Each structure stands twice: as C-alpha cells, then as structure tokens.
Amino acid sequence: MALTGLRKTVNFMNSIVGVSVLTLPYCFKQCGLVLGTLLLIFWSWLTYESSMMVVNTALKTSKKTYCGLAQLSFGKIGKLTSEICILGFMMGVCTAFHVVTGDLAVHLLQGFIGEEVTQNQRVLLIFAIGWLVVLPLSLTLTSDSILLSTTAVVGFTCFMVVTLFHCCHRLLSSGQEVQVRFWISDGLLECLPIYGTAFSCHPQLLPVVCLKGLDVSEQHTMHAIKHAFAATLVFYTLVGSCGYVCFMDAVKDNILSNLPSSAMMEGVRVVLLISVVMSIPSIIQPCRQAIGTLLFEQQVNGTFSVKGDMPLCQHIATTSILLFLTMTAGILVQDVETVLGVVGTTTGAIICYIFPSLMQSKLRKGTVSGKIVLTVGISLLITPVYANIARVNKEEIKLEPMRKVLSLFELKATTQPTLWTENTVRILMKEQTPNTALNEEKGTEYSTSDAGLDDDTHQKRTPQRNQNEINASSENTLGPYPTPLRFLLKTPRNMSSFT
C-alpha cells in the first residue's frame, strides 16, 4: 500500500512540476522573500482546491476526461471551449519546455566545442532532440509511466539540491551581508501569471487518476494528490528563495543563466535536460486527447477515452504535428517568462480556475472555495490590462492646454486698427503669431496698443507706405483667394465699419 501511494505521489508530482521553477527566483526578486513565499502557499492551496473540484466531480459523474465533464456541464459549447483551451494551455507549456531544452543543450554544446553556438545550431539542436528523443517517448509512454515520472522528479530534485548547496556555499564563502528585500508589491502583477501556472496540472490529472480505474473509496489516491502538492510547494519554495538569496538583484528571469560553469553544474544541466525531455510526453498526451475528442470523437462506455485512442497513423501524425508546432514556437520565442505569462493569463486561467469552479457548481454544489477560485480565475484574465496600466508613468504624461486661435474680429477687438494685407491673412490661416510673421514683410506697418508701454520703451515703427501702393501690390496676388479674403485684403486701415 505504501509503495502504491508513493508511485501515485511521484506520478502526480511529475504532472505538477514544470519549467516554471526556473523563473521562481526572479519572481522572488520582484515580490520579495516573504511575499513570494506567501504567494506560493496561496497558489498551492488554490490550485489544489481547483484540481480536487475536477477529480471529485469526475468521480461523482463517472466521467474520466476533462472534456467529458465540460460537455456534461455546458453542452457542445463547453466541450469545444475546453478542447481549445486545453490545446492552447498544454501547447504553451510544451513550448516553454522546448525553450528550456534549447537553452540547456546550447550551453552544454558551447562547453564541449569551446565556442559560441549560432542560432542555426540552436535550431538544429531543438529539432534533433525533438525528433530523435521526444517523439519516440511521446508515442510509447503515457502520463502514468513510472519510468517517465521517476526520471523527471529525480532530475528536478537534483537541481533543487544543487541550488541549495550553491546558495549555502556562496553565502559562507563570500562573508558579505545578505541584502534581500522581503516585501515588494510593484512586481506583483508581472509575477501572478507565473504563480498561476506553477502548480497547474488539471488536464494531466484525470489521466493519471482514471487511467486504470479509480474506486471512490480509495482515499489513499486523494492523499497522494495532497502529498504531491505539499512536496511541490517545498520544492518550489527552496528553489525560489535560495536562488534569490544567492544572486539577489542580479538574478535573471531564467536562473540557468546565473549558474556558473563548473563540472558539477554541467552535470546538473545534463540531469535537468533529461528531466525536461522526459516530462514532455506527459504534456503531449492531454493535447492528443483534446484533438481526439475534437476531431475523431473517440468514446468508451459513454465517455471519451482517457488515453485519447487513435488509429496508428492518426496517432503518429497528431503527435508529430504537435511537436513540430511547439518546437517552432520555442525557437521563435526563446523566453520562458513570456510564454508562461501569456498562457497563465489566457487559457490557463480558464482551464485551471474558471471551468473547475463552474463545473462543480453546475454538477454538484457551490462552495466558498469555489467562489474564491472563480474570482481568482477572472482576475487572472484581466491581469494584463492592469499590468499595462501600471507600467505607465504618470509623471511622463505632460498635458498642455490648447492655444486658442483668435478669429479676425476678436483680433481686431483686442488690437489697434491693423493694415490687413495678404501676409496678414496668411498668418491667420497658418495660426502663427502676428508680430513674428508680419515683421518678415518689409515695409509693412503693424501697430499695437500703446496703453501698456512707457515712453522709454515705445516701439519704433517703420515708415508708413502709401496706401495706394499697398493696395496695388495686394491686388496682383488676390487671384487664388476667395471673395471674403479679397474683401479683407482691399479694406483700408480704418476697420471701424466691422464693429
């Protein structure tokens, strides 16, 4: 019994642990040590509650797949929505795994050949690992394979132990005072999507639970799920806190970039690469199952097949297409944080938080925890909006009042009678200051009010031109202007008739 519970715990841990662990030190840097730990505890409880909603609802309704639950709850619309969201979510997670695979393989190849690896070589590495290693594993292994799960969990555990050892060694050898921040709220919005996807395992959970048939009375399976979440919480907390304390503000969004090059670290990278590769088949299976229910409608005993059974040719073609698309996306993006952020605020929020709470309230009964899960899921959907608003620095926004452009009659009322020539109309049409532009016309008189001027500062005026000469010169250029402007141009100095 104990061995069976341990195997189930390892299988569930393989479904939970992912490459988001590599970004947790960066999240601790953005949120602080205390706030980062509290967020991990909260999200582990929240994800555990939402996953148990899916498991308990599936057991009560005798449905063994997520899509079957969605169809029973919301009909064909719910089934289609769940299939699309599962595909988007799991393919996004698989893309993040390919990004990490490429980074690890590139670093190992650089140490082997002694020179920098080009982008074309990185592409070849990702496709070589995908076609030669991941594809055969995805075609043969299932999510409940004890070999797959044990290899992945052991590799991530070795990474945690080495990170903890490196942190302790650096702190004891440096002798410097540790300057870490405990509570930072500025980076909360940026890190929420990563925390939201850190414990997500809902599409992978039911295949592990229901693959061989689960009796409701077997409570040790429920305990195995709880133990898997608790162990993952300890694992994430140690990696996130140790990585942040070790590198402090210099920690990058992927902690692999901070780890030094040494024999021990190279060995850890090899083990971690094997773990990541062995975890990809457990991600491919829910995607293949969603495609099967979407296109081929494979059903067994009134529910969809847990394995996503397909004919051999369809099985190979579907798996190959999924791998090709995710590898291509991993080559183009090259940023784990971006992938997890996009997935966590879109399909991840729907699959992991919104749908479980709605399905439980529809098929069983609503609970307080279900309302909390639903509220958090909706909040994740609108997180990008608030994050973009928060990035705007209000101090950089400069609002200047619009300068009012005076009309001809307002300008006439505020100044002394002015000689209205062709240049004056041009000034008004181009919204220029009259004094500056009028002075460009040599020999034109422009007089302003002398009420506010002293005798010593009285402006000197240019000699007045003969009015007939001005009218004659203006008449030659009146052709392109309409009749009202022609009238203004030919009007004498005295404009008292306008008022």
pTM of the predicted structure, to 2 decimals:
0.73
Which whole number is the average pLDDT over 426-447? 48
Distances (CA, A) of 463 to 445, 446, 490: 7, 11, 20
Which whole number is the average pLDDT over 222-239? 91
List Cβ neighbours of 169 (8 Å cut-off, separation of 6 or more).
Answer: none
Q: What share of the chain is helix, strand, coil (3-state, %, to 5)?
A: 70, 0, 25
DSSP secondary structure of 280-339: HHHHHHHHHHHHIIIII--EETTEE-SS----HHHHHHHHHHHHHHHHHHHHHH--HHHH
Amino acid 251: pLDDT: 86
Q: Which residue has the tokens 């083990």?
A: 271
Which whole number is the average pLDDT over 399-420? 50
The answer to whether the beta carbons of residues 434 and 410 sit under 8 Å apart is no
Note the residue count of the chain.
499
Residue 181 has pLDDT above 50, yes or no: yes
More confident residue, 376 or 402: 376
Give the tens place of pLDDT for each residue, 203-218: 888 877 765 554 444 5
- pLDDT band for position 491 (cuts 50, 70, 90): very low
Residue 436 has pLDDT above 80, yes or no: no
Residue 320 has pLDDT above 70, yes or no: yes
Q: 3-state DSSP call for residue 217?
A: coil
Q: For residue 447, what are its two tokens?
A: 């007089």
HSE of 128 in the Cβ direction (CA atoms, 13 Å)? 9
Q: Identify the sign of the CA torsion 38, 43, 48, 49.
A: positive
What CATH number labels 2-396?
1.20.1740.10
d(CA 10, CA 17): 10
Among 99-108, 281-290, 477-486, which stretch is predicted with the lowest mean pLDDT?
477-486
Domain ranges of the chain: 2-396, 408-452+460-498
Q: Where are the alpha helices (DSSP H) in 182-218?
A: 188-198, 202-210
- List phi, psi (to 5°) of 142: -110, 175
Amino acid 323: pLDDT: 94
Amino acid 326: pLDDT: 94
- List phi, psi (to 5°) of 245: -65, -35
Give the tens place of pLDDT for each residue, 112-141: 888 888 889 999 999 999 999 999 988 887
Amino acid 462: pLDDT: 45
Give the tens place of pLDDT for each residue, 10-42: 888 888 988 889 999 999 999 989 999 999 999
Q: For residue 450, what are its two tokens?
A: 């002398």
d(CA 180, CA 170): 15
The answer to whether the beta carbons of residues 482 and 471 sit under 8 Å apart is no
Amino acid 248: pLDDT: 82
Amino acid 43: pLDDT: 93
Amino acid 408: pLDDT: 52
DSSP secondary structure of 368-380: HHHHHHHHHHHHH
- pLDDT band for position 262 (cuts 50, 70, 90): confident
Q: 3-state DSSP call for residue 150?
A: helix
Amino acid 46: pLDDT: 94
- pLDDT band for position 178 (cuts 50, 70, 90): low
